[in-house]
């Protein structure tokens, strides 16, 4: 029976054939252990000299790393392996013999691994991270579809710059100028006026000269946008969404979390309610903790965010930031016009901001004034202003950075390992 490693549990004590690659191997004079992978999982194949033809045993012993083959064997239950099964090999058919695979079981430096990212993603740890990423994507669709949201596809080529003009990728659009999308938000707002609750999910681009463990040049963002939803209700939804992601990863990625040595207690502790702390109170807390140099109006850097998240030991919403720190579209607080109805969700364990969101300005005149005050070209935003001209309603939305969320839930140090082919400050290859 032809099957995959993920499916072998259905064939205990039966003979199966699996198309696989040789990830690693160990052998003695009497037995060869083949670490096999087929992309759906990893399994150990055991070739016992006394039980197979001599040529087969010799072939198993001489197999090179990453050679591709069809392996036939009997599936055995194996309590010692975390996967739970093993294969007693009865036959091998080599498809392609690999020579000199560069990523050997020894330790390699990061730059070398990044240069070989197209191969590195085959390794166990990278495989586990990709599976967790996939679980988060699936859970995102499940969550928002179950709540009646419609997926809206926002364009990648745009004429607008929602998150400020300094980090734009510029390109030509025939005779016009265009930018790669920094965020699907403005289009999601138009979508919300047509479909009530929508979410976008796509690649976004920031020409940020940041070389940190949290920044990518190209990253994927999930951006829900909701009509008739005010700030606090949006925070309720964010909280429920993030808890759902953590729960699904814990439930469905147990092997991967073990392989990554993720502390699962930390994931189990991701439960609402998340503290909602104003920027002003957070600033006071930082002062109490000895961060003396930061004053009202300064943005929080990663040491500040880490200190805040540590203090609460939970994801924490920092709300009502100074207006001067945030983009043009955020609704000012009703009681103060120097702060806006926004929140950043800061993840614990130093992972930093994973969500940024706000209520949006729904008054035409105020929005027009803000667009002008930010020096943005009115003609490029006329369509966006139209949304405030024809049945404007209060609405809110947010953006969750997929890679930072994958890093956090997987317990991975750097976002470069959370996407198959990261785009970094000095990296466009492979
Ligand atoms: O805070 P940001 O810039 O917010 C927006 O783009 C809004 N338009 C979202 C919205 O309200 N619809 O980005 C949102 C999130 C951040 O919290 C972070 O998780 C992630 O996107 N992010 C990045 N992730 C990796 N690399 C970068 N350079 C990132 N910049 C933002
Ligand atoms: Mg932000």
- Take atom 31 of ligand 1 and give the residue whose Cα is closest: 401
Mean pLDDT across the stretch 13-18? Answer: 98
Q: Candidates 299, 356, 357, 424: which one to mutate for ligand 1, based on the most atoms within 8 Å of Cβ?
A: 356
- Take atom 15 of ligand 1 and give the residue whose Cα is closest: 401
Of 47, 67, 96, the domain-final residue = 96
Note whether 55 and 130 are same-domain residues. no
Query: For the chain, what percent of residues have pLDDT higher than 90?
Result: 96
Of 41, 66, 96, the domain-final residue = 96
b vs e for 348-379, b when ≥16 Cβ sit within 10 Å of the residue's Cβ? Answer: bebbbbbbbbbbbbbeeeebbebbeeeebeee
Q: Does residue 353 have its Cβ closer than 6 Å to ligand 1?
A: yes
Note whether 88 and 132 are same-domain residues. no
Q: Which ligand is nearest to the CA of 226?
A: 1
Q: How confident is the model at residue 162 (pLDDT cuts 50, 70, 90)?
A: confident
Residue-level pLDDT at 362: 97
Instruction: Tell me 300's DSSP state.
Output: P
Q: Summarize pLDDT for 260-315 with one digit per residue, the tens.
A: 999 999 999 999 999 999 999 999 999 999 999 999 999 999 999 999 999 998 99
Residue 428 placed within a domain: no
Q: Summarize pLDDT for 351-404 with one digit per residue, the tens.
A: 999 999 999 999 999 999 999 999 999 999 999 999 999 999 999 999 999 999
Q: How confident is the model at residue 81 (pLDDT cuts 50, 70, 90)?
A: confident
- Take atom 24 of ligand 1 and give the residue whose Cα is closest: 401
Residue 44 pLDDT greater than 90, yes or no: yes
Residue 425 placed within a domain: no
Note whether 300 and 170 are same-domain residues. yes
Note whether 87 and 193 are same-domain residues. no
Q: How confident is the model at residue 94 (pLDDT cuts 50, 70, 90)?
A: very high
Note whether 172 and 56 are same-domain residues. no
Residue-level pLDDT at 313: 87
Are the C-beta atoms of 44 and 82 separated by less than 8 Å? Answer: no
Q: Summarize pLDDT for 178-228 with one digit per residue, the tens.
A: 999 999 999 999 999 999 999 999 999 999 998 999 999 999 999 999 999
Residue 339 placed within a domain: yes
Q: Does residue 186 have its Cβ closer than 6 Å to ligand 1?
A: no
Residue-level pLDDT at 154: 98
- Take atom 9 of ligand 1 and give the residue whose Cα is closest: 399
- Take atom 28 of ligand 1 and give the residue whose Cα is closest: 215
Residue-level pLDDT at 163: 83
What is the token pair recorded at 26?
């160990």
Note whether 126 and 87 are same-domain residues. no
Note whether 125 and 27 are same-domain residues. no
Q: Does residue 184 have its Cβ closer than 6 Å to ligand 1?
A: no
Residue-level pLDDT at 296: 98
Note whether 42 and 137 are same-domain residues. no
CB under 5 Å of ion ligand 2: residues: 356
Mean per-residue pLDDT over the chain, rounded: 97
Instruction: Tell me 325's DSSP state.
Output: G
Residue-level pLDDT at 150: 99
Q: Does residue 411 have its Cβ closer than 6 Å to ligand 1?
A: no
Angstrom distance (rounded) from CA 290 to CA 334: 32
Q: Which domain holds residue 373?
A: 117-417
Residue 153 placed within a domain: yes
Residue 75 pLDDT greater than 90, yes or no: yes
Note whether 137 and 72 are same-domain residues. no
Q: Which ligand is nearest to the CA of 416?
A: 1
Residue 104 placed within a domain: no
Residue-level pLDDT at 21: 98
Q: Looking at ligand 1, which atom is closest to the CA of residue 206?
A: 28
Q: How confident is the model at residue 74 (pLDDT cuts 50, 70, 90)?
A: very high
Count: domains in the chain: 2
Note whether 33 and 141 are same-domain residues. no
Residue 146 placed within a domain: yes
Residue-level pLDDT at 236: 98
Of 66, 96, 126, the domain-final residue = 96
Mean pLDDT across the stretch 7-33? Answer: 97
The CATH code of the domain that includes 41 is 2.40.50.140
The CATH code of the domain that includes 366 is 3.30.930.10
Q: Does residue 239 have its Cβ closer than 6 Å to ligand 1?
A: no
Q: Does residue 35 have its Cβ closer than 6 Å to ligand 1?
A: no
Measure 418 CA to ligand 2 centroid, in angstroms: 19
296 class by beta-carbon count within 10 Å (0-12 exposed, 13-18 middle, 19+ buried)? exposed
Residue 110 placed within a domain: no
Note whether 154 and 39 are same-domain residues. no
Mean pLDDT across the stretch 114-136? Answer: 98
Are the C-beta atoms of 84 and 44 separated by less than 8 Å? Answer: no
The number of residues in the chain equals: 430
Residue 164 pLDDT greater than 90, yes or no: no
Q: Does residue 340 have its Cβ closer than 6 Å to ligand 1?
A: no
Residue 423 placed within a domain: no
- The residue among 69, 100, 120 whose CA lies nearest residue 45 is 69
Note whether 313 and 364 are same-domain residues. yes
Lowest mean pLDDT among 81-85, 141-145, 324-328: 81-85
Q: Does residue 23 have its Cβ closer than 6 Å to ligand 1?
A: no
């Amino acid at each position: 029976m032809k099957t995959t490693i993920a499916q072998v549990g259905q064939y205990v004590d039966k003979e199966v054939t699996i198309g696989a690659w040789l990830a690693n191997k160990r052998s003695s004079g009497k037995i060869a252990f083949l670490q096999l992978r087929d992309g759906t999982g990893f399994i150990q194949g055991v070739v016992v000299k006394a039980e197979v033809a001599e040529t087969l045993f010799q072939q198993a012993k001489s197999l090179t790393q990453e050679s591709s083959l069809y392996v036939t064997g009997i599936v055995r239950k194996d309590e010692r392996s975390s996967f739970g099964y093993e294969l007693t090999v009865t036959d091998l058919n080599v498809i392609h013999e690999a020579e000199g695979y560069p990523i050997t079981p020894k330790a390699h430096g990061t730059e070398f691994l990044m240069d070989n990212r197209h191969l590195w993603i085959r390794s166990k740890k990278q495989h586990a991270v990709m599976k967790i990423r996939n679980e988060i994507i699936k859970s995102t669709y499940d969550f928002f579809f179950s709540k009646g949201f419609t997926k809206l596809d926002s364009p990648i080529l745009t004429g607008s710059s929602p998150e400020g003009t300094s980090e734009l990728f510029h390109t030509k659009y025939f005779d016009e100028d265009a930018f790669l999308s920094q965020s699907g938000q403005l289009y999601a707002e138009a979508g919300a006026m047509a479909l009530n609750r929508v979410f976008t999910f796509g690649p976004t681009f920031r020409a940020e000269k940041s070389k940190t463990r949290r920044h990518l040049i190209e990253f994927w963002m999930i951006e829900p946008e909701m009509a008739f939803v005010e700030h606090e209700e949006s925070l309720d939804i964010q909280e429920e969404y993030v808890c759902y992601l953590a729960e699904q990863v814990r439930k469905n990625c147990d092997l991967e979390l073990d392989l990554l040595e993720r502390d699962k207690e930390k994931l189990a502790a991701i439960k609402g309610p998340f503290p909602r702390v104003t920027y002003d109170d957070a600033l006071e807390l930082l002062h109490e903790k000895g961060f003396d140099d930061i004053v009202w109006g300064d943005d929080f850097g990663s040491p500040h965010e880490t200190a805040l998240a540590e203090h609460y030991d939970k994801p924490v919403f920092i709300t009502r930031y100074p207006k001067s720190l945030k983009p043009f579209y955020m609704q000012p607080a009703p009681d103060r016009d120097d702060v806006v109805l926004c929140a950043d969700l800061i993840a614990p364990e130093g992972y930093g901001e994973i969500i940024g969101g706000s209520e949006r300005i729904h008054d035409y005149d105020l929005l027009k004034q803000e667009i002008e005050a930010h020096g943005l070209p009115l003609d490029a935003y006329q369509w966006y202003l139209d949304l405030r001209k024809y049945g404007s309603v209060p609405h809110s939305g947010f953006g969750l950075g997929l890679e930072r969320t994958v890093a956090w839930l997987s317990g991975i140090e750097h976002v470069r390992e959370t996407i198959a082919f990261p785009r970094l400050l000095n990296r466009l290859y492979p």
